Structure 1
Amino acid sequence: MSGIVLSASVRQNLLSLQSTADLLATTQNRLSTGKSVNSALDNPTNFFTAQSLDNRASDINNLLDSIANGVQVLQAANTGLTSLQKLIDSAKSIANQALQTTVGYSTKSNVSTTISGATAADLRGTTSFASATASSNVLYNGTAGGTTAASGTTTLGASIGSFASTGATAGDGTTALTGAITLIATNGTTATGLAGNAQPADGDTLTVNGKTITFRSGAAPASTAVPSGSGVSGNLVTDGNGNTTVYLASATVNDLLSAIDLASGVKTVSISSGAATIAVSASQPGAAVSTAAAGAVTLKSSTGADLSVTGKADLLKALGLTTSTGAGNATVNVNRTTSAASLGATIADGSTLNVDGHVITFKNAPIPGSTGAPSVPSGYGASGNILTDGNGNSTVYLQAGTVNDVLKAIDLATGVQTATINANGTATLATATGQSNSSINTSGQLKLSTGVNADLSITGTGNALNVFGLAGNTGSATAFTAARTSGIGGIAGKTLTFTSFNGGTAVNVTFGDGTNGTVKTLDQLNTKLQANNLSATIDANGLLTITASNDYASSTLGSTSAGGAIGGTLTSALTFSTASNPVQDGVAQTARANLVSQYNNILNQIDTTSQDSSFNGVNLLNGDQLKLVFDETGKSSLNITGVTYNSKGLGLAALTVGVDFIDNAAANRVLTNLNAASSTLRSEASSLGSNLSVVQIRQDFNKNLINVLQTGSSNLTLADTNVEAANSQALSTRQSIAVSALSLANQSQQSVLQLLR
């Protein structure tokens, strides 16, 4: 072969064709692989640099799976924390139910003492109340001019009122009216009775001072036939209260006048076995009764009330008492008059005074038990002109009663005086120790003692308040009041102490007027005791009771375990009871025991939940650790230390029936632990969240870094397909031209060949 000699042109064309073929092969290789550098021979620098970048991207990509697993471990732990928080909240709900359940003791431990006179407004009590004196307006007697002061002997009753008729006739109008004249004529024509229409008919009535006189035809019944409580006397049947029936068969004007006097109080009646004994009231001066004589009727009032008679006008005209005629009613009034011996204002029958809840009634009648008056009712006693029940309620009888009698009745109501009821119907009055009886001074003012039992309060009905000057300066007040004088508190200046009770603040309480740190009211005392888990109450009898609060209902005051021992100078002035032991409420304790069981079930769930919060064998809530590597060198990493968050790890212990939830303090202790566990879970959740955020950021960073590395590697080795395609096309053309050129170069040698032929 070496002996073959090619022409220069052929040799040159062959070399060009070989070069083109090499270039075309290279271009086709790049097009097929997509890379411009396929081996170190292509471009050692780019090849090894790209290989380094690819290797790093591969290493980092291998770490992504580990990071992804770490994310799931963190998410599993976070899921566990969320569930644990919900379980803690459920446990809190159970503890709060215990607080809202009835306290587990029907009686809490307490000590008590009685402070005489103490109230919630003033715990100091009182050594005594002093009776104060209150003054009325001036009372005057009936002396002309109205400026003469009344005295204790001034009577309540006034001078008898008298009214004389103008004269009247009976029968045929020629017979002078006398008491013996009958009320109806025997045959309607003779002059033995009132004439004509003046005669009362069956069922007619007269009203006298609110009492009723009824006319009935026929004769009066026998004593055995009268209603119970009533009595018969001649032609009259009376009920003893001023109501009378006049029987017309033989009744006379005197019978009618006697009935009027019974109603007005001029006369009194005693009833026994259906028989009535009528007598002139011993209080009527000079036996002043209504009469009919010398052709005229004279009506008399009692000393205790004015007289008012209302009835048929014809009857009253026949008696000469009115000029009115006809079947309609007419009224005759007979008024009393006041005098130097009586009050200048008369008091109305039936008026009352209400003194400190006790009633004083003023009545127009003689005192029971006096001459001609009914006997004293059982259970009552008479003293002067007062009838009393011994309990502060009295009746003052107006016909002979005096201002002194009213003062005694007021003192009986206030307790300044007391009444002992005797077997004979009398009452013995005595002044209470240390008290002064009410009186009337020389100026005519009532000096009323308030007594010590209550502040004085007087109200009235009728005109009683005005008559006795108790209706204020204007005479229109509806009540008269006066306060007692209060003594200083019996425990003022004394100190009560309690040592610390169940961890509370020891108490030092000094009783006083409520200033400068002293205690006066129950509210102030409770403010002091609250910090030591105690509270106080006081009843109407001054019994002060110090009680353990609901939080420590299971504790005993003064015990070694709880504290709260009592002491201080007050204990020398008052005797406190021995601290009582708390008494369990069975129903409430059963309810609380059920809550203990529910709570312990929650703790079991906390334990199992913390154990189940794992992923791929790693449990950050059960003490495991998690290490995550973020780069190929291992220098960038994150170590996450796990926690043990079972019930014990959270500081929660199983509860014991009869110990836990037994009172509010026990429930509050559990709540405190639960709140601490809740705070721990929140703190750990925050930490896990922070770590998870870091891991996710690094996970995203690694993904992006892999893309950067791979892109850099590709930039170093990838071929530009557009360029390589153009090169391929150019080389193909170039190859075709080289083949043609080689053919042309060979033609000269073919010409020589032709010559040889």
Structure 2
Amino acid sequence: MSNIVLSASVRQNLLSLQSTADLLATTQQRLATGKKVNTALDNPTNFFTAQGLDNRASDISNLLDGINNGVQVLQAANTGITSLSKLIDSAKSIANQALQTTVGYSTKSNISTTIPGATPADLRGTTSYANAVANSNVVYSGAAGGATAAIGTNTLGATAGTVASSAVVNDNSATPITNTTLLYGAAGALTTQAASSFKDGDTFTVNGHTVTIRVAALPTAAQLSAGQSIVGNDVTDGSGNTTVYLGTGANSTATVQDLTTAFDLASGARYVASINASTLVATLGGTASNTAAGITTLTSSTGADLTLTGKADSLAALKLTGATGGGPTTITATRQTTGSSLSTLITDGSTLNVDGHIITFKNGNAAALGAVPTGSGVFNTNLITDGSGNSTIYLQGGTLQDVLTAIDLATGTKTASISGGVAAIATPGVASTIASNGTLKLSTGTNADLSITGTGNALSALGLTGATGTATAFTASRTSGVGGISGKTLTFTSFNGGKPVNVTFGDGTNGTVKTLDQLNAQLQANHLTATVDANGLLTISTVNEYASSTLGSTIAGGAVGGTITSVASFTTAQPPIQDPVAQTARSNLVGQFNNILAQIDTTSQDSSFNGVNLLNGDTLKLIFNETGSSTLNINGVVFNSAGLGLSNLVPGVDFIDNGATNKVLTQLNSASSTLRSEASALGSNLSIVQVRQDFSKNLINVLQTGSSNLTLADTNEEAANSQALSTRQSIAVSALSLANQSQQSVLQLLR
């Protein structure tokens, strides 16, 4: 071939055609591979850089598979925890069922003692009390000097008080008036009819009773109402209210004596001896009002001061007042004390309230009149009692000793039996007395603490108003004797981890215990409860939670200290007695519980993926980059029953009472808390792994994109190049044909 000689133009065209063919081959390779850098010869820098990026992307892609497996391992562990939580809830349900089951003991451990009279409202019971004596202030008699000590015979009333008029003469002469002087009318009367000071309907008020003047004829006995009687020209109702009948003629038929008698009947200075009888009898120690030698003397009773209010003209007619006119005026006559009476006289209507019983002081003596209420009886003439502690003392004859007797009847120190209107007094207690210095030594009795209040002046007159003389009540406490538990203290040591208790019995204030509810409130903190029955049997027992424990034992504690009464203490606590039926039911629940624990063990063992079990103690290690410098180690846990702090229950030991059951519930609650905590940790780790998983995916994409950017060809550009090269190649072939035409022309010449 070397001997062939080509022309310069042919050779030039041939070289151009070869170059175009080479370029076309290169373009077609780029179009075929899509890369403009296929070998290191194409672009060494881009080729090796892209290869490094592809290698890293490949390495990370390999690690991504491990990350994906790690996600599944975490999800398998989370699924296991969810199942374990449900199993724990089932175990809790069984434990709660045990709590609702009948207590496993027919009799719980207890101690008891009998407190006579104890009730749920007052555990202190019946207290035996001894009599106490309370002293009054010194009480004096009315003797001159005011310093003579009172004695039992000193009377409650006193010498009657008097008020005397000026001398009065009749209208027609200088003759002084007397009891028989007519009130008005003919010569010798008190006043003339025309100037009469006594008119129909005039009234006088005497110590709360009413005296009425009537210008009318005296009624006959047949015309009287029940209880009324006739005394001279007076009609009286037996209660101190009297009507004076003046008659209907020009001359009064009523005398000065009739008027003063009406005043005496109202004041109590006189009384009617019997119903429908006209005989007047002076009251005990009293003196009737009288008119002699022109002077009218009005007297009070010995039991009440006289207070008379009436029309001034009527009283002025007797010269009892200097006032005149139709208006009212008041006259008084005050009793006088003596050595035989008290220095302070008790006023009519005063009362003493002694332990809820009433002692009433009255002026008129119903006992002397024989007017004794049905069911009551007279004692010592001046005291009427109803046999239940309520008494009436009559001031006209009553003595200080009568007051002491009435107080003793009210406190129960003395008792009264009633028969035929007469009271027989017995003294089962310590009677009240009077000290030599005049102090009243009042017995409290044993029925109740002594409490005396009063109305009127009874308290002060008897020295019962305290040291300052201003007290409104007199009180004294009995002496507390054997029986009852007020002030007693019981001590309980800690029972099954409870709070030790000191219980002091009292009135329920300042931390003391009175009621059953208050006692249980204090015992509750020490897992104990109390009951009391109708016989006063106080029983302290364990609560259901610790029904299997023996009160006061070395293991459980709760020993009781203190003697609650002087004659009895608590019984020795006996062990609880099991209920076979209830214990069988609780044993069945133990079996169900243990089955749950077996399922917990198998569930934790099955919670694996690809041979890794984070609930069985395995460790998961994840590598996140190609150099191994970024890793995450997730340590597994052992979540079988033992790992969760649970163990198989023993029949007859566990679930036997609420306390044992609550211990199991506490373990289950702890296991639930552990599972929740681990679930939270797994969730946090899963979140980290998923973030790295997404990061690795995105990084691989970045690396592969960077590699492609370095090596990929622009297909549009390469297609245009291919088209241009094809055109060039066609032109080169035509040019080569033209270049060969000169040689063909020579060939034609040779032919």
Pairing 1:429–2:431 present: no
What secondary structure is seen at the aligned counterpart in 2 of 1:422?
strand
Alpha carbons 2:432, 2:440 under 8 Å: kept: no
Alpha carbons 1:129, 1:484 under 8 Å: kept: yes
> Which residue identity lines up with residue 697 of structure 1 in the other structure?
V
**Aligned-residue offset at 1:411:** 2.8
Cα 1:58–1:17 shift into 2, 3 Å: farther
The residue that corresponds to 2:376 in the other structure is 379
Aligned counterparts of 1:165 and 1:410: Cα–Cα separation in 2: 42
Pairing 1:394–2:391 present: yes
Alignment of 1:56-75 (within 5 A): none
Give the unaligned 5+ runs of structure 1. 100-108, 580-599, 612-618, 654-659
Aligned counterparts of 1:576 and 1:77: Cα–Cα separation in 2: 56
Aligned counterparts of 1:551 and 1:201: Cα–Cα separation in 2: 92
What secondary structure is seen at the aligned counterpart in 2 of 1:692?
helix
Cα 1:118–1:689 shift into 2, 3 Å: same
Q: CA offsets per residue over residues 477-513 of structure 1, 9 Å max, x none?
A: 3223333444577669999799999x68698979799
Aligned counterparts of 1:571 and 1:162: Cα–Cα separation in 2: 65
**Aligned-residue offset at 1:264:** 1.2
Aligned counterparts of 1:140 and 1:483: Cα–Cα separation in 2: 26
Selected match of 1:251 from 250, 254, 264: 254
Q: CA offsets per residue over residues 146-203 of structure 1, 9 Å max, x none?
A: 3333333222212111222213344646664222234453xxx555564344353332
Aligned counterparts of 1:357 and 1:670: Cα–Cα separation in 2: 61
Aligned residue pairs: how many? 691
Cα 1:223–1:29 shift into 2, 3 Å: farther
Cα 1:119–1:488 shift into 2, 3 Å: farther
The residue that corresponds to 2:693 in the other structure is 699
> Which residue identity lines up with residue 441 of structure 1 in the other structure?
S
> Which residue identity lines up with residue 282 of structure 1 in the other structure?
L
Aligned counterparts of 1:487 and 1:466: Cα–Cα separation in 2: 32
The residue that corresponds to 1:161 in the other structure is 161
What secondary structure is seen at the aligned counterpart in 2 of 1:35?
coil
Q: CA offsets per residue over residues 663-688 of structure 1, 9 Å max, x none?
A: 99899789768845753653453254
Pairing 1:260–2:256 present: no
The residue that corresponds to 1:592 in the other structure is none
**Aligned-residue offset at 1:418:** 1.0
Selected match of 2:282 from 272, 280, 283: 280
The residue that corresponds to 1:236 in the other structure is 234
Aligned counterparts of 1:557 and 1:209: Cα–Cα separation in 2: 78
**Aligned-residue offset at 1:207:** 0.5
Aligned counterparts of 1:405 and 1:314: Cα–Cα separation in 2: 43
Alignment of 1:41-60 (within 5 A): none
Alpha carbons 2:257, 2:291 under 8 Å: kept: yes
Alpha carbons 1:124, 1:490 under 8 Å: kept: yes
What secondary structure is seen at the aligned counterpart in 2 of 1:369?
helix
Alpha carbons 1:496, 1:571 under 8 Å: kept: no
> Which residue identity lines up with residue 409 of structure 1 in the other structure?
A
**Aligned-residue offset at 1:556:** 13
Alpha carbons 1:652, 1:674 under 8 Å: kept: no
Aligned counterparts of 1:557 and 1:275: Cα–Cα separation in 2: 86
What secondary structure is seen at the aligned counterpart in 1 of 2:359?
strand
Alpha carbons 2:528, 2:540 under 8 Å: kept: yes
Pairing 1:477–2:471 present: yes
Aligned counterparts of 2:408 and 2:716: Cα–Cα separation in 1: 133
What secondary structure is seen at the aligned counterpart in 2 of 1:153?
coil
The residue that corresponds to 1:200 in the other structure is 198
**Aligned-residue offset at 1:533:** 3.2
Aligned counterparts of 1:314 and 1:191: Cα–Cα separation in 2: 19
* TM-score normalised over the length of structure 1: 0.70
**Aligned-residue offset at 1:386:** 2.6
Pairing 1:329–2:337 present: no
Alignment of 1:577-616 (within 5 A): none
The residue that corresponds to 1:142 in the other structure is 142
> Which residue identity lines up with residue 417 of structure 2 in the other structure?
I
What secondary structure is seen at the aligned counterpart in 1 of 2:257?
helix
The residue that corresponds to 1:128 in the other structure is 129
Alpha carbons 1:237, 1:244 under 8 Å: kept: yes
**Aligned-residue offset at 1:234:** 4.3
**Aligned-residue offset at 1:730:** 11
Aligned counterparts of 2:323 and 2:690: Cα–Cα separation in 1: 122
**Aligned-residue offset at 1:244:** 1.9
**Aligned-residue offset at 1:28:** 4.7
Aligned counterparts of 1:720 and 1:531: Cα–Cα separation in 2: 88
Q: CA offsets per residue over residues 363-383 of structure 1, 9 Å max, x none?
A: 1133x433x563465323323
> Which residue identity lines up with residue 383 of structure 1 in the other structure?
N
Aligned counterparts of 2:572 and 2:56: Cα–Cα separation in 1: 91
Alpha carbons 1:536, 1:546 under 8 Å: kept: yes
Pairing 1:226–2:224 present: yes
The residue that corresponds to 1:406 in the other structure is 403
Alignment of 1:197-596 (within 5 A): 197-249=195-247, 250-272=253-275, 278-284=280-286, 288-366=287-365, 368-370=366-368, 372=369, 374-375=371-372, 377-383=374-380, 385-415=382-412, 417-433=413-429, 435-442=430-437, 444-487=438-481, 521-522=513-514, 526=520, 529-536=523-530, 543=536, 545-546=538-539, 573-574=567-568
Aligned counterparts of 2:479 and 2:732: Cα–Cα separation in 1: 146
Aligned counterparts of 2:303 and 2:648: Cα–Cα separation in 1: 89
Alpha carbons 2:169, 2:190 under 8 Å: kept: no
Aligned counterparts of 1:282 and 1:246: Cα–Cα separation in 2: 25
Aligned counterparts of 1:226 and 1:576: Cα–Cα separation in 2: 76
Alpha carbons 2:118, 2:532 under 8 Å: kept: no
Cα 1:49–1:473 shift into 2, 3 Å: closer
What secondary structure is seen at the aligned counterpart in 1 of 2:419?
coil
What secondary structure is seen at the aligned counterpart in 2 of 1:143?
coil
Cα 1:341–1:642 shift into 2, 3 Å: closer
Alpha carbons 1:60, 1:706 under 8 Å: kept: no
Alpha carbons 2:527, 2:546 under 8 Å: kept: no
Cα 1:326–1:491 shift into 2, 3 Å: closer
Selected match of 1:710 from 679, 695, 704: 704
What secondary structure is seen at the aligned counterpart in 1 of 2:409?
helix
Aligned counterparts of 1:459 and 1:184: Cα–Cα separation in 2: 51
Computed over aligned residues only, the root mean square deviation of the Cα atoms, in angstroms, reads 6.0
Aligned counterparts of 2:192 and 2:220: Cα–Cα separation in 1: 29
The residue that corresponds to 1:105 in the other structure is none
**Aligned-residue offset at 1:301:** 1.1
The residue that corresponds to 2:652 in the other structure is none
> Which residue identity lines up with residue 440 of structure 1 in the other structure?
A
Alpha carbons 1:379, 1:421 under 8 Å: kept: no
Aligned counterparts of 1:513 and 1:305: Cα–Cα separation in 2: 48
Aligned counterparts of 2:38 and 2:735: Cα–Cα separation in 1: 33
Cα 1:505–1:39 shift into 2, 3 Å: same
Alpha carbons 1:270, 1:373 under 8 Å: kept: no
Alpha carbons 1:382, 1:425 under 8 Å: kept: no
> Which residue identity lines up with residue 257 of structure 1 in the other structure?
T
Cα 1:680–1:57 shift into 2, 3 Å: closer
**Aligned-residue offset at 1:24:** 4.0
Q: CA offsets per residue over residues 261-314 of structure 1, 9 Å max, x none?
A: 121111123554x55764211232xxx111123332211111111111111112
Give the unaligned 5+ runs of structure 2. 102-109, 248-252, 574-588, 613-619, 650-654
The residue that corresponds to 1:106 in the other structure is none
What secondary structure is seen at the aligned counterpart in 2 of 1:22?
helix
Cα 1:192–1:480 shift into 2, 3 Å: same
What secondary structure is seen at the aligned counterpart in 1 of 2:414?
strand
Alpha carbons 1:650, 1:680 under 8 Å: kept: no
Task: Identify which range, 113-122 or 385-394, moves more after superposition.
Answer: 113-122
